[in-house]
Amino acid sequence: MQRAFGESMSKYLKHAVGFAQDAVEKSLRLSEGIIENAKDLGLDTTGQFFDTAEVKLGQVSKELNGKTDKEKLMGLKRLIALIARGQDVSSFFPDVVKNVASTNYEIRKLVYIYLLRYAEQEQDLVLLSINTFQKDLSDKNQVIRAMALRVLSGIRVPIIESIVLLAIEKCSTDPSPYVRKIAAYAIPKLSRMSPGSNEELIGIVTKMLYEDSPMAIGAVIHAFDSICPHRYDLIHPHYRRWCRMVIDIDEWGQIVVTNLLVRYARTQFLDPTSVKSPADQPQAQDYSESEDDFYSDSSDDNNQTSAKKSQKIKPDPNNDDNTKLDPDHSLLLDSLVPLLQNRNNSVVMTAVSAIYHLAPPYQFTKLVKPLIRLMKSSRESAYVVLDNIIEISRQHPEIFESYIKDFFAVTASDPVYIRKKKLQVITHIVSQNNIDVLLPELEGYIRSSREDLVKGAIKILGQCFLTIPTHRQQSLPMFLKLLKNRDGGRDYILGEVVKTVSLVLMQSPPAQESGSSAASKQQPNNDYIANPQLIYATICYLSRFITDDSVNNDEARAKYYQLVCYYSDTVFKPHALDVLRLAAKTFKDQGRWTKLAIIDLDAQLMQQGLKKDTASPEAQKLLVQLHNFIFTLARYDTDYDIRDRARFFRSLLPLDGNVDDEEHSANRLSSILEHRSGLLPFIYPRSALCSTKPGDLFGSVLRKERLGSVSLSLNRHIPGHIHLPEWPKTKPKEKVDRGEVGGAGQALRRGFDPTRPQQQQFVDPYIGGSSGIYAHQRQTAAVSQFADPDADEEDEDDLDAFLNSEDERPRGTRIETSHISAYGDNIRVPQFQEYDNDSTSASSYSGSESRGSDEDDDSSEDQSEGSDEDEHSPTNDGAAGGRGIPEIPSFYKNYDPIGDEPQYGHTMADKFALVTHPSDSALYDHQRLDANRFLYPTTESGGSDNINANSASSTPILSSGTSKLAGNHHPHGNNSDHDQGDQANELLDSSSIWK
Amino acid sequence: MAIDSLFILNTSGKPVIEKHWCEEASVRKDTTLTLPAFLRYLEGFDTIKEAEPIWYYPPSSTVCVHIQRNDLVYLCTMSSDVGPLQVLDFLDHLVENATEYIGNVTEVTLKENFIIIYELLSEMMDSGSPITTDISLLKNLVPPPNFVNRVIENVTGIGLDSDASPQVNVSSIPWRSSGIKYTRNEFYVDMVETIDAILESNGRIVSCNVSGSIICDCRLSGMPDLRMSFNQPSLLDNLSFHPCIRIPRWESEKSLSFVPPDRKFKLATYSIDSGVIQNGIPLHMSGRASFESNTCNLQLTVMANQQMVLKSSGAASTGALGGNLGSLGGPRKKALEDVKIELPLPTTAYNIRIQTKKGAYSVDQSKSDQTKLTWQLKTLGLNDNSVDLYVQFSLKDSTSSTIKSDASSRPALSAFAQFKLTGVSASSVKINSLKMIRETYNINKGVKTITQAGTFQMRF
């Protein structure tokens, strides 16, 4: 019975469900039908307004003049639709402006939108609407008042300047913070329209700075920033109040307020870089109770460097309390910390930027997590945030070290630009501590089919090589494996490896050639990078790939020639000329960058080789012949830059190819060297080659722009970028009153206290009638009489305080100078920028200066053709003594690659100074073998070619010399290089062209 | 410092809506010079996604900042230095607020609601600086459309609200206006945790991040003051808060104390330190790839984390929440839902053969830059132990010697998983209690926990 009941029940339920589903479908169809019907009936849906606006333009005028609000609204909607589509409907201005006084709020809103768009073009007609706005300014509804002011100030008609000024003044004391906010936003608009009114506006802003509604204060400071951003004297009385308030301000206000407070603090307090974390200071500090998390590991490092800096900065030895923060300074830092947890990304970024520019370095750890959170929010934000992380990690890599996994590139979801930036961050933060996590990841990247990822991984490997000495044994096999990998589809790998290895080697400090005092103090140095024999072997190894043409990448080949050039006077000296000889042979087939690099190599060798004591006459003769050959080819090259480069060097090395006159030319050169000692060094200063000064193989340089700005993201100066003031060198002497701190302890969040009555709705002024507003005005008028002279006085006082700070200089000039100093290096050595792929600036010097030298070289053409055959002749009968102890090329004396750099240059040099790790002997043997095998391939097919025959015959002797060289375990000290040179002389005996 | 113009562009690069805050001369410059140049710039990329969001056009010295949402490109131009994140955030706010007003923002809905968008824009931005972006404030200034109103408007041409005077909330809690009244007081919380993970082919976890967000739907009368506490607040890391949260209270008591905005809002986001993810990952994946000459064999195994799935079924226990917080949603399935595995294959792959016992698969070769294999599993529950997918394909090559035994030269393959698990959080963080002071009525409370995959990748 029950079972039967159950069955019938379930049947019933099934029916019910089916019925319900039917009903849903039917109702759906019905509603669709209704919409269709509506369309058929010709009722305008809003979408049709948008699409048909153009067609029905003819009836707009009629509609605007219609009797009902409905008609007017239709006409206005059509107009707005056309505005939204970017069409010009300014011809309807007279019809629209009539409706400005409409009682319908909806109509008025649309009229305002139209007015704001076209008022600038119809300056006369818009005056018709002014009366309405003025009437609205006294409306009882705060939104209407605000809207009237917003439109009035936004219509950009200079004639009404005084009306707007009055309106702003009136609204600036409005009881509603919303209206005051809009009044403050009107100030920059008026100032832009008529700069003449700035005086009055500053007066208004000064009064408005006393604003205590979190809603309006952001707008007030926005106004301050746009009309008098450097009147820090006006900030003093509000500073502490704002520090307390900043948490309660709305998000866009927080950004503005924070930025102002940062600039203020940079003019008032001392550089905090030397401030130690409270843990390092045994004595209790009353202001440090809230700073519980800090990065104690890094503080040692930072303190050492900054201690030096601060000593330099501080002329006054009595002023020694730079080791602790000013209480006001730390008040600001404390109040910025909660902003890091804001939901608005740009607020967080602003707070990060502020803390980064204001806080002592030990506090930077707290920036890491918020930054990583922002990075994960959206790919667009990640783009911006990563730029800033790159900047921070360049200077403080240690704080990101343990977060390396967050920067692993995800191939599927990250666009190329994100991947690139992530890899760049990894380059900065890779260290001893995280290398083990990174290596498996890198192997994955190298296997990837994405070219950018593979190249990036190789660069990171190169960076690991530089920064982590103990890791070298691990990563070298990876490199070698990569080099052996002749993957058909991915031949860019080889090129990238050659490029990176070349770059890495060029980042090493110049190997000391003679026993200078610095070298004699050095420890026995078996480290890979600083070890001349290993460098030698590596270059030989790379040579293999260049000579057998397996590297097709132009840039990689160019980097190789730069590398040879870089070591042409030190470890690779014996073969530099040979490299040039082989390069000359294939010169015409090379790519653009390679040709330029070969020309540079030629010039470099010429500069060294023509000094009488460094080379045999035969070598010099060959060199001159090669020079003429290469430069003749370069002169008729199709590429403008190559011709230009050749001309440039020819004017510096004015040699006519007359070998007999070689003594004369050498003298000429040495005289040039003396006279142009300021110029020649730029042929190859080491640091100019390494475009990547503070250890960045991605070729980016340190930026001075403030974090979070668009200038930083774009790597260029965008107008309107306000540089941060430099810290004052001394503490401002006079005490300034920074206002009340406010209630003791943390103010209750948002000022919202559950125990207080909370309907804090501001009373609309109509309650008090218009007299209320008048009273306000009277009051403020009185204030303004006193306020202005007051402000002036303060200004004068403060001038003393700021006199030393650069900030008092006019903005424009300051930006100019800092711009130049940031690029100073590049301006002086324009030709090297080309290697940074910066082709836009490549032609920054023009070739016109060497027109003359063009002509006097005509005669050398025939000779150079002859020299093509001549160069094979044996040239081995010179005195050997000349080449053993070359003196330091004069440009190293004159040019200190570290000292000449901008101040941030030290970091890399410091790193190198520390690189003293003993190298593994197995690795070392490997290198030697490779060098022997590959330097001059004996099996080259073109045996009939004289050049090849020559090089082949020289191979055994060369390689024995090499192995002897490589096996030479002399400490890299005082005499090792002499020994090296002498031994090489013995061994290289008869075949060496250098003899 | 200001934004000059805003363009909302459709897929073909035509502006659907444009709005200018700058002077007439700059308007001309932007529309005739910068915009065409920007479109050319976008055309240079295969997908808009690959275009860098910040781009400088030297001839007009204009910075272009853009985001892409729903096939629409939102472009801001500016000629002075504005923080790029500010612009991006403003655009995000714009999209968010517009979605709140008109639903999904597409070209069609934009055209239908252009008046509202224009009104919103004029409230959100004044002469190029953002002024009001908070949705609750905006709703006072620009009344949101509703269906009845739209019908009336269509018939009469004028909406009901057009005469209502706008108001603005200037109290110290601008996100909540006074006088809100509901007959049924409800407060629902969604805790959504997203897992980003990278797995190795043997199933080992390389990296794993859990990020969560607490989304509330508040329908409470008056001025309630709420306090939300968690079972393990110490696990919550790297938080960001809605402005309504009193941060000092969180610092001292580790509970969230706030006066909520009305309706839906995101209360907080957090992340979980990967070291303390107690429940593990909901989906185990492992795989094997072998290459023989030009043929590749792949085996992919997926399995649900049984313990987590079990917990998800038992998650309806309401006792922990004081009986008031009921569980939401329909009857729970004891399974991972919406399981989908995507496997991008090399473009040179051909002759693809697939074999599996469960789910449906498809191969998409329509795109030139990628061949994508999709495996739809729908649910993966307790009954399914481990499910395998076998793929075999060949690679066509210009140089036949490319694929060697050398591991470094074979293509890197990875699989990406999507799934959803209701009722259990990866972090095991729960909302312990939700208390209200200052209002006396009873509230219906509910918590829904969802764990889903973000970028969940396994590398072969």
For residue A787, is pLDDT > 70? no
Write down which residue in B102, B135, B163 finishes a domain: B163
**In the structure, what pLDDT confidence band is assigned to residue A982 with cuts at 50, 70 and 90?**
very low
For residue A188, the chain B residue with the least C-alpha distance is B127
Residue A664: predicted pLDDT: 58
In a domain, B242, yes or no: yes
Whether chain A has a CB inside 8 Å of the CB on B202: the answer is no
Residue A347: predicted pLDDT: 92
Angle ∠(A463,A466,A472) on CA atoms, nearest 5: 100
For residue A290, is pLDDT > 50? no
Residue B91: predicted pLDDT: 93
Write out the DSSP string of B335-385: EEEEEEEEEEE-TTEEEEEEEESSSEEEEE--SSS-EEEEEEEEEEESS--
8 Å CB contact of B249 and A749: yes
Among A155, A176, A341, the strongest candidate for a mutation testing the B interface, having the largest count of B CBs within 10 A, is A341
Nearest Cβ partner of B89 from A346, A449, A713?
Answer: A346
Give the dihedral sign, CA A855/A857/A862/A868.
negative
Nearest-CA distance A405 → chain B (Å)? 7
Q: What is the mean pLDDT of residues B377-393?
A: 81
Side-chain-side CA neighbours of B239 within 13 Å: the count stands at 21
**In the structure, what pLDDT confidence band is assigned to residue A45 with cuts at 50, 70 and 90?**
low
Residue B155: predicted pLDDT: 58
Contacts of B57 (CB under 8 A, 6+ apart): B33, B34, B37, B38, B41, B63, B64
The answer to whether residues A510 and A686 touch, using CB atoms and an 8 Å cutoff, is yes
The residue among B445, B378, B425, B433 whose CA lies nearest residue B192 is B425
User: End-to-end distance of chain B based on CA atoms, in angstroms?
Assistant: 50
The CATH number linked to B333 is 2.60.40.1170
Nearest Cβ partner of A719 from B18, B20, B81?
Answer: B81
Q: What is the mean pLDDT of residues A693-718?
A: 68
Residue A56: predicted pLDDT: 72
Contacts of B309 (CB under 8 A, 6+ apart): B282, B334, B335, B336, B381, B382, B421
Q: What is the pLDDT of residues A532-586, one digit of tens each?
A: 777 777 788 778 777 776 777 777 888 888 888 777 767 777 777 788 888 888 8
DSSP A342: B
The answer to whether residues A968 and A983 touch, using CB atoms and an 8 Å cutoff, is yes
**In the structure, what pLDDT confidence band is assigned to residue A965 with cuts at 50, 70 and 90?**
very low
Whether chain B has a CB inside 8 Å of the CB on A506: the answer is no
**In the structure, what pLDDT confidence band is assigned to residue B214 with cuts at 50, 70 and 90?**
very high
The answer to whether residues A630 and A598 touch, using CB atoms and an 8 Å cutoff, is yes
User: End-to-end distance of chain A based on CA atoms, in angstroms?
Assistant: 118
Q: What is the mean pLDDT of residues A513-530?
A: 41
Among A422, A750, A763, the strongest candidate for a mutation testing the B interface, having the largest count of B CBs within 10 A, is A750
Whether chain B has a CB inside 8 Å of the CB on A811: the answer is no
Q: Which residue has the higher pLDDT, A951 or A179?
A: A179
The answer to whether residues B313 and B297 touch, using CB atoms and an 8 Å cutoff, is no
The residue among A708, A762, A742, A795 whose CA lies nearest residue A242 is A742
Q: What is the pLDDT of residues A734-759, one digit of tens each?
A: 667 776 654 333 333 333 333 333 33
Q: What is the mean pLDDT of residues B209-237?
A: 89
Nearest-CA distance B44 → chain A (Å)? 14
CA distance A8 to A18: 15
Number of Cβ atoms within 10 Å of the Cβ of A20:
10
Number of Cβ atoms within 10 Å of the Cβ of B105:
23
Q: Which residue has the higher pLDDT, A553 or A678?
A: A553
**In the structure, what pLDDT confidence band is assigned to residue A520 with cuts at 50, 70 and 90?**
very low
Q: Which residue stretches of A548-661 are H helix?
A: 554-566, 573-585, 592-609, 617-635, 640-652
Query: What phi and psi values does residue A826 have, to the nearest 5 degrees?
Result: -70, -30
The residue among A943, A978, A916, A2 whose CA lies nearest residue A528 is A916
B151 and B208 inside one domain:
no
CA distance A169 to A733: 36
**In the structure, what pLDDT confidence band is assigned to residue B268 with cuts at 50, 70 and 90?**
very high
For residue B270, the chain A residue with the least C-alpha distance is A373
Nearest-CA distance B247 → chain A (Å)? 7
8 Å CB contact of A105 and B246: no
Residue A475: predicted pLDDT: 66
Give the rounded distance of the alpha carbon of A12 from its chain centre.
72
Residue B411: predicted pLDDT: 67
For residue A804, is pLDDT > 60? no
In a domain, B401, yes or no: yes
Give percent of chain A with pLDDT exceeding 70.
54
Whether chain B has a CB inside 8 Å of the CB on A766: the answer is no
CA distance A181 to A220: 7
Window B:336-365, CB contacts with A under 8 Å:
344, 346
Residue B92: predicted pLDDT: 92
Residue B152: predicted pLDDT: 60
Whether chain B has a CB inside 8 Å of the CB on A436: the answer is no
The mean of the pLDDT values for chain A is 65
The answer to whether residues A541 and A931 touch, using CB atoms and an 8 Å cutoff, is yes
Nearest Cβ partner of B408 from A45, A107, A446?
Answer: A446
Nearest Cβ partner of A46 from B112, B243, B271?
Answer: B112
For residue A200, is pLDDT > 60? yes
Nearest-CA distance A704 → chain B (Å)? 14
B316 and B422 inside one domain:
yes
Nearest Cβ partner of A447 from B82, B223, B410?
Answer: B410
B196 and B286 inside one domain:
yes
Number of Cβ atoms within 10 Å of the Cβ of B157:
18
For residue B114, the chain A residue with the least C-alpha distance is A81
B127 and B223 inside one domain:
no
Residue A799: predicted pLDDT: 38
Give percent of chain B with pLDDT exceeding 90.
13
Residue A935: predicted pLDDT: 39
B442 and B315 inside one domain:
yes
Residue A278: predicted pLDDT: 66
For residue A987, is pLDDT > 50? no
The answer to whether residues A951 and A919 touch, using CB atoms and an 8 Å cutoff, is no
**In the structure, what pLDDT confidence band is assigned to residue A798 with cuts at 50, 70 and 90?**
very low
In a domain, B297, yes or no: yes
Residue A350: predicted pLDDT: 92
A440 exposed, middle or buried (CB, 10 Å; 0-12, 13-18, 19+)?
exposed
Report the range of poorest mean pLDDT among A324-338, A871-885, B262-276. A871-885
**In the structure, what pLDDT confidence band is assigned to residue B37 with cuts at 50, 70 and 90?**
very high
For residue A836, is pLDDT > 70? no
Number of Cβ atoms within 10 Å of the Cβ of A51:
12
**In the structure, what pLDDT confidence band is assigned to residue A779 with cuts at 50, 70 and 90?**
very low
Locate the DSSP E strands across B179-251.
186-199, 205-219, 225-230, 236-241
For residue A95, is pLDDT > 60? yes
How many residues are listed for chain B in this entry?
A: 460
Q: Count of domains in chain B?
A: 2
DSSP A676: T
Q: Which residue has the higher pLDDT, B135 or A471?
A: B135
Residue B393: predicted pLDDT: 85
Q: What is the pLDDT of residues B397-444, one digit of tens each?
A: 644 444 444 444 566 678 889 888 888 888 888 888 888 888 888 888
B297 and B266 inside one domain:
yes
B296 and B189 inside one domain:
yes
For residue A525, is pLDDT > 70? no
Q: Which domain holds residue B193?
A: 182-460
Nearest Cβ partner of A752 from B118, B242, B259?
Answer: B259
DSSP A656: -
The residue among A577, A579, A566 whose CA lies nearest residue A510 is A566
In a domain, B148, yes or no: yes
B303 and B421 inside one domain:
yes
8 Å CB contact of B170 and A176: yes
Q: Which residue has the higher pLDDT, A430 or A620?
A: A430
Write down which residue in B106, B129, B163 finishes a domain: B163
8 Å CB contact of B414 and A750: no
8 Å CB contact of B126 and A150: yes
Residue A939: predicted pLDDT: 37
B159 and B188 inside one domain:
no
Window A:105-124, CB contacts with B under 8 Å:
105-107, 109-110, 112-113, 116-117, 120-121
Whether chain B has a CB inside 8 Å of the CB on A341: the answer is yes
B219 and B150 inside one domain:
no
Residue B153: predicted pLDDT: 59
The amino acid present at A442, given as its one-letter code, is L
For residue B26, is pLDDT > 50? yes
Write down which residue in B104, B136, B163 finishes a domain: B163
**Pair of tokens at residue A218:** 């952001």
Number of Cβ atoms within 10 Å of the Cβ of B58:
9
DSSP lists the bridge partners of residue A342 as B241
Window A:57-116, CB contacts with B under 8 Å:
68-71, 73-74, 77, 80-81, 84-86, 104-107, 109-110, 112-113, 116
Task: Please list the helix, strand and coil fractions of chain A in percent, rounded to the nearest 5, in that order.
Answer: 70, 0, 30
Number of Cβ atoms within 10 Å of the Cβ of A664:
12
Question: Is ipTM > 0.85 here?
Answer: yes
**In the structure, what pLDDT confidence band is assigned to residue A654 with cuts at 50, 70 and 90?**
low
Q: Which residues of A536-568 are buried (b: 16+ CB within 10 A; e: fewer)?
A: bbbbbbbbbbbbeeebebbbbbbbbbbbbbbbb
In a domain, B172, yes or no: no
CA distances from A966 to A4, A567, A925, A927, A994 (A): 99, 16, 8, 9, 19
Q: What is the pLDDT of residues A916-962, one digit of tens each?
A: 333 333 333 344 334 334 333 333 333 333 433 343 333 333 333 33
Taking CB atoms and an 8 Å cutoff, what residues of chain B touch A150? 126
In a domain, B171, yes or no: no
The amino acid present at A417, given as its one-letter code, is Y
Supply the pTM of this predicted model. Answer: 0.71
The CA R_g of chain A, rounded to the nearest whole Å, is 37
The answer to whether residues A702 and A693 touch, using CB atoms and an 8 Å cutoff, is yes
The CATH number linked to B84 is 3.30.450.60
Angle ∠(A692,A695,A699) on CA atoms, nearest 5: 30
**In the structure, what pLDDT confidence band is assigned to residue A348 with cuts at 50, 70 and 90?**
very high
8 Å CB contact of B84 and A384: yes
Number of Cβ atoms within 10 Å of the Cβ of A782:
10
In a domain, B388, yes or no: yes
**In the structure, what pLDDT confidence band is assigned to residue A131 with cuts at 50, 70 and 90?**
confident
Give percent of chain A with pLDDT exceeding 90.
3
CA distances from B8 to A29, A463, A541, B17, B145 (A): 33, 43, 56, 5, 21
B153 and B202 inside one domain:
no
**In the structure, what pLDDT confidence band is assigned to residue A284 with cuts at 50, 70 and 90?**
very low
**Pair of tokens at residue B339:** 């399981």
Residue B88: predicted pLDDT: 92
Residue A621: predicted pLDDT: 77
The answer to whether residues B230 and B432 touch, using CB atoms and an 8 Å cutoff, is yes
B319 and B225 inside one domain:
yes
Window B:66-95, CB contacts with A under 8 Å:
66-67, 78-86, 88-89, 92
Side-chain-side CA neighbours of A961 within 13 Å: the count stands at 25
In a domain, B248, yes or no: yes
DSSP, collapsed to helix, strand or coil, labels residue B199 as strand
Helices A472-484 & A435-447 angle (0-180, nearest 10): 0
